[in-house]
Structures are given as structure tokens and as C-alpha cells.
Amino acid sequence: MSSSLRRGALAATALLISIASLSACAAGNDAQTLGVRPDNAETSVGDIKIQNATVITQPQPGVQGQAAVSATLFNDGTKEQTLDSVTLPGTKATVKLSPATGSGPITVAPGGSVVLGGKGNPSGVVENSAEAGRLGDVQRIVFRFSETGDVPVDAFVVPAADYYRDYGPSSVPQPPASSPAASPTGSAPAEGAHGNEAEDGESGDHSGEHSGEPTPSDSASASQNAGH
């Protein structure tokens, strides 16, 4: 191969490597920028950031009961904010908000965070699970804060199972208790009954033996008749 051809081949190889590297970088940037993680729905508006937003329904489709809205709320500002309402656009659901203890609004301190849902945490409950969306669907949730206003986020509707069990509705139907095993229909005879049967059998045998033997008066009468 001549030197000119060799230089041309090397240049072509270098060009291909450069193009491949640029393509990889572009794909990586797009994946990071456009990547969507609906199972870890998050968003931020102003000083408010929301992570892990989900709508958690009953474990099985068609089961009546409550649903719950769960999320972690961050306040990166310098002013306290209250969570005034949570709505599920496109549904008839009404989300009832309750603080962790007592009454009053759910407050997110400046620089702090609040977990909505789970034991010992504030809660957002929908009384009718069927109104909160269908399992597997993506449902928009709108959190309204006192200072920031509306913060919308799209989240999955998931069942209260596995990881989500501890953050779902507190009232989940329990499986029915198993019924006790049925007792046998026939009952064994008492020990006394066996004893009586045994006694009856023995008395019958003895009476049979005595009935086959003649009495003394019968023997005497027979001998007198023979003499006459």
C-alpha cells in the first residue's frame, strides 16, 4: 500500500471514531435531559420541589375503599409555606388533607421538607378509590401552596402493595379469616356404652348356660314318676 493510501485510510478511521464519540455524547445528553421517570415523578416551581409523587389505590382493582396521594414536599425558600389543597384534574376525587397531629394546615418550613403519606406523617386521602384513577394510568396531581401557588406533576396510579403499602390508604380490607375445620358427623359411643354392651353379653351367656341345666325339683319329680 502506498504512503498516500495509508494516510487516507488513517484519516478515514480517525473521522469515524470522532463521529461515533460525538454521537455517544449527544445520546447521553439527550437521555439525561429528556429522560422521564414516571415512577419517581418530580417537579419544581419556584421555591417548591416535589418528588416521589404517586396516587396509591386499593391493592386489587374494583375493591372499594380509600386512596391516598403521596409525595415529598421541599421548601427551598426562606418563608414558611402551607399546602392549601391537592386536586386530581379530570376526576371527581376530593383529596382531604390532614396534618400529622391535631388540626390545621400542613406546613412546610423554610429549608425543610414534609412527607405526605405514611405512618406518623400528614395525609391526603380520597374516600372513594375508584375516583382517584385507574391502576397503571398516569394521573396529574396539582399541589397548591400558600406562596408558590399551583405546582402540577404527572404521577402513576399504583396499588397499595410492596413498597407503596406503607404510604397508601390506612383502610385496606383484610383477607377473610379461614373457617375452622368441620368436626366429624358421627360421634364415638361413650365408654359406658361399651361397658354396658359387654355386661349385657356376659349376662346373656350366663342365662343361656343356666337355662340348659335342670333344676333340683325337676329331677326329683322325674325320679318319682319313674318309680310309679
Domains (range + CATH), the chain:
38-164 (2.60.40.1890)
Helix (H, G, I), strand (E, B) or coil at 192: helix
Q: How many Cβ atoms are within 10 Å of 183's Cβ, its own excluded?
A: 7
Q: How many C-beta neighbours within 10 Å does residue 18 have?
A: 10
Q: What is the mean pLDDT of residues 186-210?
A: 48
β-pair type (48-57, 41-45): antiparallel
- State mean pLDDT over 103-111: 96
Q: Which of 163, 159, 133 is nearest to 58 (CA)?
A: 159
The residue among 59, 214, 198, 89 whose CA lies nearest residue 151 is: 89
Tell me the residue length of the chain.
228
Q: What is the pLDDT of residues 118-132, one digit of tens each?
A: 999 999 999 988 899
Q: Which residues contact 57 (CB under 8 A, 6 or more apart)?
A: 67, 129, 132, 133, 135, 157, 158, 159, 160, 168, 169
The pLDDT of 74-89, averaged and rounded, is 97
